[in-house]
Structure 1
Amino acid sequence: MNIFKRLLKIGQAEIHALVDMMEDPISLTEQGIRDMKKQLHDSTESAAKVRASIIRSENLITEKEQEAAQMAEKAKLALSKAQTGELTTEQSERLAAEALLIKKRILEEVQALSLEISEHAGKREEINKHIEVLQFNINKWEKELTTLRAKQKVNEAASMANQQMANIDSNSTLDMLQRVKNKVANDEALAEAYAEMAQNKIELPDEQKAVQDELTALKKQMGID
């Protein structure tokens, strides 16, 4: 019994538990489907062979029934020859009896062939039911396989995302963010310093003017031209 048959024979809960422990349930399902397709091929061949045997037996029955009919005619013919004087009564009855004996044996063969056909028909019916079950299960598990493959892709994507998240060092991330914050603060302070320097340059001519006015006033007070 292959592993897939064993899988189908255990309970639903055990199936889920077993699948959870498997490294690759998809490969197992694929193998199970291949096993069932092989059984389907073999069963189809068996059904065809049984049907061929039934056809041969039916043809043979037709031939035997014709032979039996011929023996019955020979028995009648033998008896009629006694009436016409071609044979004595003893001879005609002996020939007729021989023909009827052959007919009886032929009909016994026909009966045996009929029983054989009945048995083969029963076997063929069982095989056909098995074929129907296999076809149903193959279709079912092929759909399940499609679902499993889709789930596997989702799980692989989620696993990769989780792995990437797990590989992130939170401390190094915080350090990086702090460096960014410090750089921004430094850039802001530098920008502010440049702004102050620019303001000082703008105010410088006003200071020089004030000094020059004061100097002019002083010279005028002292009477200096």
Structure 2
Amino acid sequence: MNIFKRIFKIGEAQANKAVDNLEDPITMTEQGIRDMKADLNKSVEAMAQVKALAIRSKNERDEHESKAKDYESKAMLILKKAHSGDMAVEEADRLAKEALAKKEEAQQHANRAAADTEKFEKNVSQLKDTIETIKGNITNWENELKTLKARVKVSDATKNVNKQMAELDSAGTVSMLERMKEKVAQEEALAEAYGDLANTSKSVDDEIDAAADMSESKLDDDLAKLKEQLGIKKDEA
């Protein structure tokens, strides 16, 4: 029962610690509720048995009380017969005493049965209160189990996220990024070096072809400048 007290104090700060200390709080709680339902069934069965005893005792009480009254009525009837002369007084007294003795014996049985009835009915009342308490506890625990399941899910999700965050190596990540930047810079420099080598490996014909690949207007301007340097006039051309 102590374990349930630890589990179901959901609103308290120690609840999370209690859940962490349990290997499987959900399974253990569900098993505890099943055990309580089994106890409830046993209590209901016990109450039914005690109630049956109470009913039987009550019936015995009523039966013996009826016998006691009957013997008392018979003793009175015998005495009346003796008084009226229908029976000898001595015989009437003897039979009346026997009837009164039977009455006393029946009354004792009735008293005992009444005491048993009172005791059994008290037990039934106590068992009924216990059953109602168990029912209420089971209902509360089932409701709190739903809350506990939700809390466990949230707790697990939060724990996993926090664990992942805690396992992140920020220093290692920065170092990796720096190495990648350095590698990219090296690759860029290597590409530029290959470009320079490609340019220096061009032949003279390639250079002439590249130089010749100019627009017509640019060639005309260059030709005019060349003639001007040679002193050749446009008309002479």
TM-score (norm 1): 0.74
* Cross-structure match for 2:205: none
- 1:154 CA displacement: 0.7
- Say if 1:127 and 1:181 are closer, same or farther in 2 by CA, change over 3 A: farther
- 1:138 CA displacement: 1.5
* Cross-structure match for 1:26: 26
Q: Provide the rounded CA distance (Å) in 1 between the counterparts of 2:181 and 2:47.
A: 78
Structure whose CA Rg is larger: 2
Structure 1 segment 1-225 matched on structure 2, within 5 A? 4=1, 8=5, 16=15, 19-170=19-170, 173-174=173-174, 177=177, 179=180, 204-205=214-215, 206-215=217-226, 220-221=232-233, 224-225=236-237
- 1:102 CA displacement: 0.4
- 1:46 CA displacement: 1.4
Give the counterpart letter for 1:95 in structure 2.
Answer: L
- 1:215 CA displacement: 4.6
Q: Provide the rounded CA distance (Å) in 1 between the counterparts of 2:54 and 2:167.
A: 70
Question: Structure 1: which 4+ aligned runs deviate by more than 6 Å?
Answer: 180-184
How many equivalent residue pairs? 208
Q: Provide the rounded CA distance (Å) in 2 between the counterparts of 1:20 and 1:164.
A: 19
- 1:152 CA displacement: 0.8
Q: Provide the rounded CA distance (Å) in 2 between the counterparts of 1:143 and 1:211.
A: 97
* Cross-structure match for 1:197: none
Q: Provide the rounded CA distance (Å) in 2 between the counterparts of 1:87 and 1:24.
A: 88
- 1:148 CA displacement: 1.2
Does the Cα contact within 8 Å between 2:78 and 2:92 map onto a contact in 1? yes
**Which piece of structure 1 moves more, 73-82 or 207-216?**
207-216
Q: Provide the rounded CA distance (Å) in 2 between the counterparts of 1:103 and 1:180.
A: 114
Q: Provide the rounded CA distance (Å) in 1 between the counterparts of 2:173 and 2:20.
A: 36
* Cross-structure match for 2:202: none
Q: Provide the rounded CA distance (Å) in 1 between the counterparts of 2:158 and 2:182.
A: 32
**Which piece of structure 1 moves more, 100-109 or 120-129?**
120-129
- 1:88 CA displacement: 0.8
SS at 1:221 equivalent = coil
TM-score (norm 2): 0.71
Deviation track 1:180-225 (CA, whole Å, cap 9, x = no partner) reads 79869x6xxx9xxxxxxxxxxxx94253342144356568428643
The structure that is helix-richer by fraction is: 1
Root mean square deviation, CA, Å: 3.6
Q: Provide the rounded CA distance (Å) in 2 between the counterparts of 1:142 and 1:38.
A: 15
* Cross-structure match for 1:193: none
- 1:117 CA displacement: 1.2
**Which piece of structure 1 moves more, 27-36 or 104-113?**
27-36
* Cross-structure match for 1:199: none
Q: Provide the rounded CA distance (Å) in 2 between the counterparts of 1:5 and 1:132.
A: 21
Q: Provide the rounded CA distance (Å) in 2 between the counterparts of 1:26 and 1:125.
A: 34
- Say if 1:120 and 1:214 are closer, same or farther in 2 by CA, change over 3 A: same
